[in-house]
Amino acid sequence: MKKIFAFLLYSFTIFSQQLPYKNPNLSIEERVRDLLSRLTLKEKIELLGGTGFATKPIERLGIPELRMTDGPVGVRWGESTAFPVSIAMAATWDPSLIYSLGTALGRETKGKARHVILGPCVNIARIPMGGRNFESFGEDPFLASRMAVNYIKGVQSEGVAATVKHFAVNNQEHERTYIDVLVSLRALNEIYLPAFKAAVTEADVLCVMSAYNKVNNHFASENEYLLQTKLKDEWNFKGLVMSDWGAVHSVVPTLKGGLDLEMPYGTFLNYDNVIKALEKNIINLSTIDKKVERILTIIVKLGLLDTAEWKENSMLINSDENQKIAYEVSKASIVLLKNKDSILPINEEKVKKIAVIGPAAKIARTGGGGSSLVAAINPVSPYDGLKNKIDPKILLEFAEGVQLDGDAKSISSDFLFADNELKLHGLVGEYYSNKTLSGKPVLSRIDKEINFWWHGESPSKEINEDNFSIRWSGYLVPKISGQYEISIATDDGIRLYVDDKLLIDDWFDRGVSSSNVKLLLEKNKPYKIKIEYYENAGDAVCVLGWNTPGENIMESAIEIAKRSELVILFVGTSYNIETEGRDRDNLLLPNDQVELINKIARVNKNVVVVLNTGSPVLMNDWIDNVPVVLQMWFGGSQGGNAIADVLLGNYNPSGKLPITFPRLWEDCSAFGTYKSFPSRTYYSDDIYVGYRHFDKSEIEPLFPFGFGLSYTSFEYNDVSLETNNEEYTLTFFIKNTGQMDGFETPQLYVGKKFSKIDRPVRELKSFSKVFLKTGETKKVVLSVPKKNLAYFDIKTDSWLIEEGVYEFMVGASSRDIKFKKEVIVN
């Protein structure tokens, strides 16, 4: 009997080894073809819908699930390294550095045993209030392309699939799930698609995610022009096309439109729906096979059939190497916008006391809100960064000054009671495995405080990771009388009742954001309180906080500023304010921060304002009152250390703006059409987005695209231009004429003179980041292929090069042009 069993086992082993799809020596195409032939129709269809953050495994054939994770700036699967946000990556103007960041993301993705990271986001920052601008690489398609290509190559060098998103023209959060973006084919191809094209044709990205919105009357997830004509036919994309989470709206149009995988679940692309379409001959089996082929191809390419199941590896998470990369990117992204009288860098020998003030000073604001927000490991705040690096003889005094929405202190259990006898601290929590608080709770418990950050995890083993709801009830007893501001920060819906009165009713899907209400409360009086919360998908956050009466934190900050020689004022926004799910209401610094800046500027002339934001803010009301302004973005885990080194002169700031900072919202290209029509938006600015618009309209921005100061100075000399009819090459020399080593980023713009076609004044076509020691001169060579001078002609649906005179311009920004050269293109 033992011999028979051994023979059967041996035969099965030999047979398994001979299965072509398990043979790593065969080509990917051969293995996928064989594997596809072994799938049943039911198994094929089941692969078209996800299981949350994965594809469905086919255990019969040993096909593993393809596991995914958010997001573009760090792995959102438990705690990990938070890297600087994407707009900060673009502000480095250093593609090689972003390649390194991509490798770190790849390692951390593997460390979490995930196969696919859902990034990068390459949507153009068209609207300065856009809720996800911080996730983008800015306003220029060429710069975005260079960042995307290197990010993707870095991720995929670690054997992890990158996902370029959101395809396409997903440029606003307002009405994002259904808005119809009406855009010309020229603007689409010249402005909004180049970064996607580069991701496919240059970086060989493995996955593409379609957007929520419609594009020219058709949802992006069923848009034949985008997914089939451009992506698969013209660009020859061979990878996997997935939907954004919940972005599918149909069965047949989606199947025909080019989408391969519906996420997070097969709500439309499930067995019952798809089999009906097949039986009615509305679609054919080959359509299904092509989609399944693409899913299987990624599984085979990643080696998931050839290795043991990936296991979590904590050694790959937040390693010293990854922390260093996060620090280097954050440091290189910081943009010096103003430095009157050379107040920076700080002269530690002349300063004895520094006031460190602001709502972003002692909080590490690592990123914006929504699906990209990372649960950062040991993030460093600006205050801690300064304390770590500054001469210990210098006294640092801190004051918050103002508080941002969502930053309110969580209400301690000392003030919360679960029973009317006020003996049991906390609130009664009833947990439901649905979003509607219906049926019986699957879990009841007393929660001491409502201060929960579950992120993508479940509140308890009895509860789903997504699609759950909670009702908390009990009593709130204040200890002093006065006006309180109660704040509830949540991801998704929230209701607050006090004494059975509904005071907050924000019962809708949203990124992490704060809802507030002011109440007059009496000392020691019990107030009946009820909180209802639901979570749909993605992040899961609920924090109940308050500001108590009698606090005047602004006056405390002003007093500290008066007695200090230097003030460093950290202001900005937060993940509650810049977030997925909604756009900002305006471009102003929120929560009385302008008042704080101006009041402090009146009592201290040496004020350094550091902006901790993910996109532009207006500065007209305060910038003339302060001598120094820095843009540090959302700097990731190491942002505090990075800004400290720039302030202290340990690093010479080298960041350049990847987005124009306007003086007014009215000056921006989208002003006339944004929110002008319900459920649709017209891109009447066409190709004139960002600096292209400011140049065409001759509007002076506050700070132009490509702008960034340094602690040193640079001189440009001896330019020459050569051509071989296929490429144009500018050669020149840059000298560091100042007193500090540093980087300069010369930028090459091209404009067509006397054009018969409506064309921008100038467009970025090349750049290089150059390090120069004090007094050093370096030769710089910038090249532009002739094909990159083309424009998209909608009549012929092709790229055409217009003959005539072109002007090649090299500058330190789009408005600081150092020299020009003309060339005739035939």
- Looking at the fold, whether 673 and 568 belong to one and the same domain comes out as yes
| Domain shared by 441 and 397, yes or no | no
Instruction: Kindly state whether residues 569 and 676 are assigned to the same domain.
Output: yes
> Are the C-beta atoms of 783 and 727 separated by less than 8 Å?
yes
Residue 455 pLDDT grade (very low, low, confident, very high; cuts 50, 70, 90): confident
Stretch 491-506: mean pLDDT, rounded? Answer: 95
Closest among 154, 148, 150, 152 to 135, alpha carbons compared? 148
Query: Can you give the pLDDT at residue 491?
Result: 85
The domain that contains 674 carries what CATH number?
Answer: 3.40.50.1700
List all residues 6 or more positions away from 183 whose beta carbon is below 8 Å from its beta carbon.
169, 192, 215, 216, 683
Q: Is residue 702 part of a domain?
A: no
Residue type, 670: A
pLDDT band per the 50, 70, 90 thresholds, residue 17: low
Specify if 719 maps to a domain.
Answer: yes
Q: Is the pLDDT of residue 9 over 50?
A: no
pLDDT tens readout for residues 174-202 = 999 999 999 999 999 999 999 999 999 99
User: Could you tell me how far CA 822 lies from the centroid of its own chain?
Assistant: 39
Say whether both 728 and 624 belong to one domain.
no
- Assess contact for 554 and 597: CB atoms under 8 A: no
Could you tell me if 628 and 524 lie in one domain?
A: no
Strands 628-631 and 607-612: parallel
Choose the final residue of a domain: 696, 728, 752: 696
Residue 124 forms part of a structural domain: no
- Total tally of structural domains belonging to the chain: 3
Catalytic residue among 94, 244, 539, 583: 244
Can you give the CATH number for the domain in which 815 is found? Answer: 2.60.40.10
Q: How confident is the model at residue 15 (pLDDT cuts 50, 70, 90)?
A: very low
Same domain, 562 and 663: yes
- Domain coverage including residue 599: 325-405+552-696
The rounded percent of the chain whose pLDDT value lies above 90 is 91
Q: Is the pLDDT of residue 665 over 80?
A: yes
Whether residue 647 is found in the same domain as residue 775: no
CA 115 to centroid of chain Cα atoms: 20
Q: State residue 496's pLDDT score.
A: 97
How far apart CA 681 and CA 412 sit, in angstroms, is 46
Residue 360 lies in a domain: yes
| Interior/surface letters 507-529, b for 16+ CB within 10 angstroms, e for the rest | eebbbbbbbbeebebeeeebeeb
Q: Is 505 a catalytic residue?
A: no
- In this structure, the strands spanning 443-447 and 527-535 are unpaired
Q: Is residue 100 in a domain? A: no
202-to-22, 135, 197, 208, 709 alpha-carbon distances in Å:
30, 21, 8, 14, 32
Mean pLDDT confidence for 490-496:
92
* Long-range contact set of residues 242-245: C-beta below 8 Å, sequence gap at least 24: 242/50, 242/163, 242/207, 242/208, 242/209, 242/210, 243/209, 243/210, 244/165, 244/166, 244/209, 244/210, 244/211, 244/212, 245/537, 245/538
Residue where a domain stops, chosen among 696, 723, 756: 696
Assess contact for 472 and 531: CB atoms under 8 A.
yes
pLDDT at 302 over 90: yes
Give domain status of residue 623, yes or no: yes
Number of neighbours of residue 801 by Cβ within 10 angstroms: 15
What amino acid is encoded at 789 in this protein?
L
Does 438 lie in the same domain as 382? no
Distance CA 331, CA 349 (A): 23
Residues 558 and 596 in one domain: yes
533 has a pLDDT exceeding 50: yes
Under the banding of pLDDT at 50, 70 and 90, the label for residue 406 is confident
Asked if residue 525 and residue 416 are part of one domain, the reply reads yes
Is residue 521 located within the same domain as residue 579? no
Within this chain, do residues 617 and 494 fall inside the same structural domain, yes or no? no
pLDDT band at 512 (very low <50, low <70, confident <90, very high): confident
Q: Cα separation of 674 and 532, whole Å?
A: 33
Asked if pLDDT for residue 130 goes beyond 90, the answer is yes
- In a domain? residue 590: yes
- In the predicted model, is pLDDT for residue 557 greater than 50? yes
Q: How far apart are CA 372 and CA 580, in angstroms?
A: 8
CATH number of the domain residue 517 falls in: 2.60.120.260
Q: Is residue 296 part of a domain?
A: no
Identify the domain boundary among 696, 728, 754.
Answer: 696
